[in-house]
Amino acid sequence: MGRCRALRGRRIRRAGAPAAVALLLAALCAGTGSASASVRADFDPATVRRLDAAITKVMEQTGMPGLNIGLWIPGRGVYEKSFGVADRQTGTPMKSDLYTRIGSVTKTFTVTGVLQLVDQGKVGLDDPISRYVSGVPGGDAITVRQLADMRSGLFDYTKDEQWLAGLRADPHRAYTPRRLVDIGFGHPANFEPGAKWEYSNTNTVLLGMLVEKVSGQGLADYLREHVFAPLKLNDTSLPDAGAMPDPHAHGYTDFTPKGTVADATNWNPSWAWAAGGVVSDLDDLHAWAPALADGRLLTPKTQAERLRTLPVGVVPGASYGLGILDFNGWLGHNGELPGYETIAAQLPAEKATLVVLVNSDIDHQGKNLSSLIGNAVTSIVTPDHLWPAPVATEAK
């Protein structure tokens, strides 16, 4: 694993690397790339067979194009595999070193940036957001903490029907953070701050704006310097345009005006920004999940605040802290945006890490693809700590 990280740290930023070298690096780090190409699979053979069968079954049932998965449990083994294809048009197999969009796992990075500023005494968790960002309706009564733990009451701009129609019609359009939050501010608040939990991307975009205001840096630069670099997450970034770095998995979606399937790989993710715009890969998320759970970029006091989770009230066994989910003991986050779904989580009880990367967000019978995989895998390896089974959702 360390060898692949060293090779891939030079990977591309390897734009222009000779094709033969690129192929060699991919082969060294990703195995053969066949339908169940193994990078590492040293759990006991019976468990490996069960995992292979369970994942293959979900893929066959859902029509999922491709999947990277890593499961690392000290004392029990490693299960790291690539399934299916990264590009339906060419049939290129999925490989473990491919870049992917990680959606709302981005929130874990953005909120970490906020909490670092808390540690530096530059931000107070119970400060009103109006101290840092102007123009927030009711901002004097909404705290930084309530934004981070999804209890602000602010309308989620991604639920604005007119905006959604515009995004479907033109997924390459660029959005500014202020434009995004203003869409949310165009709706009345859903409840009084602190009254209950409700997921809202508006919250995290505001926190990204806070980081920029307080640090004096653009969010992408701040995260690169203060979050990605200290952990050597060399293949993780918050891009400012739609083009994906190479090599990458193509992402497939039905988030289109007529519900037809499209390749969303190079759609502009500026609409997600601090809430969902980060690009990463399997190896970096393997490093990030335990660092997120143990708080190694934060003081113990601030990490304890982060992990004061409260039930979300909509999923049994699920609670939410400051930019972090607790799913039956798994600490981390899931993510979804057109073309991609992600899980990155740590189970402290067993020091287990789980990363799931799917190159599609096309629900199966209204159910989220990555959560279907997460539930199938944890049912086998950590049955006392299940990743929740997905529930049917409304059509996108």
Active-site amino acid positions: 104
Give, in order, the Cα–Cα distances in Å from 234 to each of 45, 104, 237, 343. 33, 19, 8, 19
Q: Residues 195, 151: contact at Cβ < 8 Å? A: yes
What does the block give as tokens for 83?
A: 């399934």
Q: Are 87 and 99 in contact (CB under 8 A)?
A: no
CA-wise closest residue to 41 among 52, 32, 55: 52
Sequence-ordered alpha helix ranges (H) in the chain: 2-9, 19-30, 45-62, 106-119, 144-148, 161-169, 177-185, 201-215, 219-223, 273-276, 282-294, 300-306, 369-381
List all residues 6 or more positions away from 208 whose beta carbon is below 8 Å from its beta carbon: 110, 177, 219, 273, 274, 275
Residue 343, strand partner residues = 334, 356
130 vs 210: CA distance, rounded Å: 10
Q: How far apart are CA 294 and CA 183, in angstroms?
A: 35
Helices 201-215, 106-119: crossing angle, 10 deg rounding: 40
d(CA 380, CA 58): 14
Integer Cα distance of 208 and 192 in angstroms: 22
Distances (CA, A) of 297 to 114, 128, 294: 11, 24, 9
* Distance of alpha carbon 363 from alpha carbon 129, whole angstroms: 35
